[in-house]
Amino acid sequence: MLTMINMMEAVCDDLRRMFRGYTLPNKAGVLQEVRIFAQYMPQPSGITFDDKNTGLKNYTGEDFEQNFPGIIVKLGDMTDQEEQRLDMNRVSVKLLCGVYDANPVCNGWRDVAGMMEKIRQEWLKERVIARRFRIEMPLVTRLVEADTWPVYFGEMEVMFETGRVGRGVDYVYRGYVSNG
């Protein structure tokens, strides 16, 4: 069965493949590969709770900054279509790309734009991920306009076609056959 979770894993795997060996400076200025996160960034190590267990303690913005450069892949809405021969379900995905750049020249936006352009060019070549999930147009890319120095963000909105739930029969998707 093709599900949102399968699609999420396929998107993250494709991004990891795409950014293997692609490095940008982290907060310490050391080059590191772009990290890929499914839905949320991990909780930082060393988090403690207050005595009454009512909230986090010792948790700051710096804890998030250790995860940059990174891309968070967030699932959005799933839309089921009316049954027709090739109608597919659609799942929206947002990619939040971020880098840390404390340089006063403020060029971090260029790194973010470069990351998004790499994804855009790669995905528009075939428009299919994992031979099962097709990218619909338009693919929307934008830099976050708010001043978030020293962290810079960009966002991509992508709509994927996925297989629809059938009645126990195989479906054919543009040359690929799936038994679920």
CATH number at residue 145: 3.30.2000.30
Write the pLDDT tens digit of every residue in 37-83: 999 887 666 555 555 655 555 556 666 778 899 999 999 877 766 55
For residue 25, cis peptide bond before it (omega within 30 degrees of 0): no
Write the pLDDT tens digit of every residue in 82-141: 555 456 688 899 999 999 988 877 788 999 999 999 999 999 999 999 988 999 999 999
Residue 109: name the closest of 141, 151, 63 by CA.
151
| Local confidence band at 154 (pLDDT 50, 70, 90 cut-offs) | very high
Total number of domains in the chain? 1
Q: Give me the domain span that covers residue 100.
A: 4-178
How many whole angstroms from its chain centre is CA 97?
Answer: 8
Distance between CA atoms of residues 67 and 51, nearest Å: 28
SS3 20: coil
Instruction: Report if pTM > 0.85.
Output: no
